[in-house]
Amino acid sequence: MDMDRIVSRLRAFTSERDWDQFHDPKNLAMLLASEAGELTGLLRWVGNAEADAFVRSPEHRAEVEAEVADVAIALLLFCDRAGIELWRAVEAKIEKNAEKYPAELSRGHARTPRR
C-alpha cells in the first residue's frame, strides 16, 4: 500500500459521500489542526520519560495509531486538493533545514544558530 493508492481510496471515499464541497483548503487546515490537537491530547498528561512506553503500550497503541492516521488523512486530503506533491515539498524543506541548522552549530540543542 503506497501513498498513491491511499490517495485514490481517499478520493473515492470523499466522492461517494459528496464531501468535496467541504474539502476546501481552509476547512482541511482546520481538520488537520483538530486532529493534531487530538494526538496532542493523548499525550498531554504523559511525561517525557514515559512517552515512548505510552505510545507502544497495548493499552494505548490503537488510539495513538488512529490519531496519527487521522492527521495523515487530513494532510493527504489537503495536498490532493491543493495539488501539492508531498515528498517533493518535504525534500525541499529538509534542504532548507540543513542550511538553517548546520550540523556543527546545532549539535545537542534546538536553537537556531546565529552566524
Residues 64-93 that bind a second copy (CB under 8 A): 64-66, 68-73, 75-76, 78-79, 81-84, 86-93
The mark string for 24-63 relative to a second copy (x by CB under 8 A, - otherwise) is xxxx-xxxxxxxxxxxxxxxxxxxxx-xx-xxx-------
Whose Cβ is closer to a second copy: residue 88's or residue 114's? 88
# residues near a second copy by CB under 8 A = 78
Q: Would you say 25 and 82 are in contact if contact means Cβ atoms under 8 Å apart?
A: yes
Which residues have CB under 8 Å from 106's CB, separation 6+? 113
- Taking alpha carbons only, the member of 42, 95, 30, 97 closest to residue 68 is 42
